[in-house]
Amino acid sequence: MKTPIFGLLLAACCLSSASALAAPDDDDGLPKLAAIKGLETPDRPSFGACAAYFFTAARGHSAPFYDSYYSAGEFSLNAAVLLHGAQEGNRMMEKASAVMMDEMGRDWQKINVLDRHHAPPCEALMRDAGYVPPR
């Protein structure tokens, strides 16, 4: 099984706390509306769905990858809330999370099922949104 490239990239540059985002001094590491507006399209996942994937991946992968996945989940959820409001952003994430748990049969040993299906489009969405992984 291959580990998602994004996970390796994030792990390589971050084994620090999820709150310490690598960004220019004047940037708080949060998604910016101008950068994320229009990125959710019918052929891409929503930020809410990607938040669900990254938070689930944080729980399903080994400890060294936790911070990188969790940080990406935080960014994704913040983007969903920014675009759709807190209630809808959280609802989107919760709905996607339930679907993902069903996809892997609620068996954490099958996390690779989610990696194959959700990692590539969510990684692309994060790159396009200007996500900067933590150091």
C-alpha distances in angstroms, 90 versus 1, 12, 87, 97, 101? 31, 29, 5, 10, 16
Question: Measured over all CA atoms, what is the biggest interatomic distance in the chain, rounded to whole angstroms?
Answer: 43
Coil/strand/helix, residue 26:
coil
Spans of all domains in the chain: 28-128
The span from the CA of 105 to the CA of 121, in Å, is 21
Identify the pLDDT of residue 130.
Answer: 94
pLDDT for the residue 23: 34
Residues with pLDDT less than 50, the chain? 1-26
pLDDT attached to residue 134: 79
